[in-house]
Structure 1
């Protein structure tokens, strides 16, 4: 259990708190990186589909169906 004294604002088990904060921060950063990797892949694939659509049949915009899911 962490304890704090009247002279110290920080708890005495600072290493445990720091490790848990670092672990949580690392997890959050990994989740953000994964989100942006998937987002960029989504944009790239859909841009390619729009390009194919415009090159093959510009009168019908069929690329909206895969984009919308």
Structure 2
């Protein structure tokens, strides 16, 4: 993820604000702030509102014109943001799993309590949940950034 959404998110997080707080202070809707942080292109008016609240210029919010180091994201910050997004994705997936599997068990117990068929989707999807969690929390990261770097170096014929 690159561009304006990362810049705005960085400014917001530096101030310790939630998306709701940024929306309230800037006069934008929460949905607009969420869309911008997901990569949707903001209007000039939205940019002006955000720039005023974030105490910067519109130019500093536009990635192709970012010049000052305050608004640039370091590699470390990008990695941290991506890790947090992966963990957030895992928790969202886990909540979906819990809700859907609960509904399946309820349907199963109402329609045919003598055979518990809901265990099969619970186990199948559960394997996916475990895999997602291991990746999000970097417990097993066989194909992570270090592996990618080694593979790139290898293909470029550079020593490791």
- The TM-score normalised by the length of structure 1 is 0.68
For the residue of structure 1 that corresponds to 2:117, the secondary structure is coil
For the residue of structure 1 that corresponds to 2:113, the secondary structure is coil
Gaps of 5+ in 1: 1-14
Note the alpha carbon deviations across 1:7-26, whole angstroms, 9 max, x for none: xxxxxxxx6xx712111110
CA–CA distance in structure 2, aligned partners of residues 68 and 24 of structure 1: 32
Name the structure 2 match of 1:40.
Answer: 95
Gaps of 5+ in 2: 1-68, 125-160
The Cα shift of 1:66 comes to 1.4
Note the alpha carbon deviations across 1:4-46, whole angstroms, 9 max, x for none: xxxxxxxxxxx6xx71211111010010001111111111111
Structure 1 segments of 4+ aligned residues over 3 angstroms from their partners = none
- The TM-score normalised by the length of structure 2 is 0.31
Aligned ranges 1:47-62 → 2 under 5 Å: 47-62=102-117
